[in-house]
Structure 1
Amino acid sequence: MSTHARQFEQVVVTHLSNGAPLCFPLHTIQGAKPGPVLGVSAAVHGDEIIGTEIIRRLYTQLDENELSGTLKLVPVANPLAFESLTRNTPVDMNNLNRLFPGDADGWVSEQLADALVRHFLTKIDVYVDLHSGGAVPIVDYVYIQNDESLSRAFNSPVLYRPAHPYEGTTATVVAERGIPSVTVEIGGGPNYEKHIERGVQGLLNMMRHLEMLPGAVVPAPEQTVVTEIASIRPHQGGLLVPHFGFDAVGCVLEGQQPLATIYNPQTFEELEVIRAPFAHNLVILMRGEVGKVSPGDYGFMIGNLDTAEAK
């Protein structure tokens, strides 16, 4: 592969109290033929590192001589949160993906959001943002936002059409500008190889869909579109013992059966039983290993199959 069509820059946002610059990385791959500018980002939440590896593999596999258009990659959108493996920025404890379009005069997270908008999000024609379940849970679905065919082209078996999208996200910024946008939620926890590879293949298929790469678009598998997802957070902290392993993601559970039990790690007292909320439950995000849990942590996300769109 030639390298003259590849550029890398560290976009300086500000300087930290220790004098070190706060930057975010930006790769640009210029294709040999004209086409759209696709932006792909990861680690807006610093504990969602699987997207960084998906982008790294995409970068190494692409041949710009076959690429029509331009690819802009931000593999670590929030370097401070990535360093601490936390969802929020540790310096100001803000959730970066609720602060867009940011504020050059605001918190450091707001300054970072502002820089990402000015140097990345307003320089692209199509956008994909990679997320995951974080450091412990695993998740698997894709949002339908403003380009359903592009969302479907990632070939996730589950899609989510929210009634009210989150405000202040990267997707909010581009959607307001009429830019096709897809938010992908895949993997997390142990960062399994199968999720990494699915992520790479999903992006490549989206690029074929956009006619940025040659070859036929791989047809989507049977896909379920949910419109209702219950986010279940434990009321009690303690030792969480799941009733199912990570392989339950994507499975259907019938009835309000137990998903996990939380015990007091010192007294062994049973503190809480987390149950499936619907008659027909599609497991979308879950904790599949024994571990510590705090009150209010992400526990499970369950789709209601009874309100899902007809196939």
Structure 2
Amino acid sequence: MSKRPSPISATVDFDADGVQHGFLKLPISVDESAWGAVMIPVTVVKNGEGPTALLTGGNHGDEYEGITSLLKLASEQRAEEVTGRVIIVPCMNQPAVMAGKRTSGLDGGNLNRSFPGDPDGSVTEKIADYFTRVMVPMCDVVLDLHSGGRTLDIIPFGASHVLEDAEQQRQALEGAKAFGAPYAMMMFELDAAALFDTAVESQGKVFVATELGGGGTSTPESMAITERGVRNFLIHYGLVAGEVEVPDAPQVYLDMPDASCYVQSQHSGVLELCVALGERVEEGEVVARVFDPTRSGTAPVAYRAGRSGVLAARRHPALVNMGDTIAVIADVVDSLG
């Protein structure tokens, strides 16, 4: 049975040349607004024929490098600088962005765990469905900008995935490298089935993701990496002219081959991180301790690295609950792909 058309409508013409600023409008009816709409900002910059790039931020609402850099790009990008079409969606999950949370302030939905979506589902599922069936088919390449949000700190990297299609994987990996972050990652996802990544890759499109910081904020350093990376991405795929700007230091290649990269807490308590972000760790080394705050005189539980590598991510809040990821360790490799 085929799905009905998406209830979301665009106030921009995706086929018109020039620069347009508008919205993706999703009708809603809530206590505060009986005949309301979720208004997702969108900018389309088009100049003749050429490839189409979709740039997204705010897939999670507390990840600010992508949101901020794309809001800035949308206000500055000129049509005459573009060959083809650039579609900019700085706040993909607008209800989450306005709530300052990872998940939607309307239905609690995690957009990046809701694909391919449902036009008859929740607000979050309707947004996912629109991107799956309307936005992604328009594009050739997608850059989805993430960071650690309020609960993680992550070293800055561009990422791609292992794919069945070798050429699709090669093109994505080259884009992840060209982004020009200090690190490039071949990333292992704990559960990829409902990700935006998978929705894009399953349509044969080139998908590049990033992780660019965390702690529920941005820094001058993380913003500089992000802005340079977005421009590098557009240059690499032929949408704007110029030369890709390489990092000052040689890019470090990282691989996450399996779930052993993740260190997850089996206890709730107060977290002590024993290794700095980006630091080398050896298999068996203590990377964190969890203390029981309900009584004194109790020894902490030590968490050890399951593999050697670098600390690619760590939990940001010191209060930890059972099941939380407290560290991610990635292998340093000579090459990717």
User: TM over 0.5: same fold?
Assistant: yes
Secondary structure (helix, strand or coil) at the match of 2:221 reads: helix
1:149 to 168, 174, 177: 174
1:275 to 301, 304, 308: 304
Q: Cα distance, 1:209 vs. partner?
A: 1.0
Which one-letter code corresponds to 2:268 in the other structure? G
Secondary structure (helix, strand or coil) at the match of 1:187 reads: coil
The residue number in structure 2 matching 1:110 is 125
Q: How many residues align?
A: 300
**Whole-angstrom distance in 1 between the partners of 2:133 and 2:20:** 18
Which one-letter code corresponds to 1:283 in the other structure? L
Secondary structure (helix, strand or coil) at the match of 1:65 reads: helix
2:253 to 224, 227, 231: 224
Root-mean-square deviation (Å):
2.5
**Whole-angstrom distance in 2 between the partners of 1:136 and 1:162:** 19
Q: Deviations over 1:49-69 (max 9, x none)?
A: 221012123334433322212
Q: Cα distance, 1:46 vs. partner?
A: 2.0
Q: Cα distance, 1:118 vs. partner?
A: 3.9
| Unaligned stretches of 5+ residues in structure 2 | 1-16, 162-168
Kindly indicate whether residue 96 of structure 2 is the aligned counterpart of residue 84 of structure 1. Answer: no
How is 1:148-297 mapped onto 2 (pairs within 5 angstroms)? 148-156=173-181, 157-162=183-188, 166-189=192-215, 190-219=217-246, 221-228=250-257, 230-244=261-275, 248-268=276-296, 269-278=298-307, 280-287=308-315, 291-297=318-324
**Whole-angstrom distance in 1 between the partners of 2:188 and 2:289:** 29
1:54–1:197 Cα contact (<8 Å) kept: no
The percent of aligned pairs where both chains have the same amino acid is: 24
Return 141-150 or 162-171, whichever deviates more.
162-171
**Whole-angstrom distance in 1 between the partners of 2:110 and 2:325:** 15
Which one-letter code corresponds to 2:23 in the other structure? Q
**Whole-angstrom distance in 2 between the partners of 1:270 and 1:62:** 56
**Whole-angstrom distance in 2 between the partners of 1:299 and 1:85:** 22
Q: Cα distance, 1:113 vs. partner?
A: 0.9
Q: Deviations over 1:109-155 (max 9, x none)?
A: 21121123344222222111111111132213332243221121112
Secondary structure (helix, strand or coil) at the match of 2:130 reads: helix
| Unaligned stretches of 5+ residues in structure 1 | none
**Whole-angstrom distance in 1 between the partners of 2:124 and 2:38:** 11
Question: What's the TM-score once normalised by structure 1's chain length?
Answer: 0.86
**Whole-angstrom distance in 2 between the partners of 1:49 and 1:160:** 23
The residue number in structure 1 matching 2:30 is 17
The residue number in structure 1 matching 2:164 is none
**Whole-angstrom distance in 2 between the partners of 1:94 and 1:109:** 6
**Whole-angstrom distance in 2 between the partners of 1:237 and 1:81:** 26
Return 219-228 or 150-159, whichever deviates more.
219-228
1:37–1:126 Cα contact (<8 Å) kept: yes
Question: What's the TM-score once normalised by structure 2's chain length?
Answer: 0.80
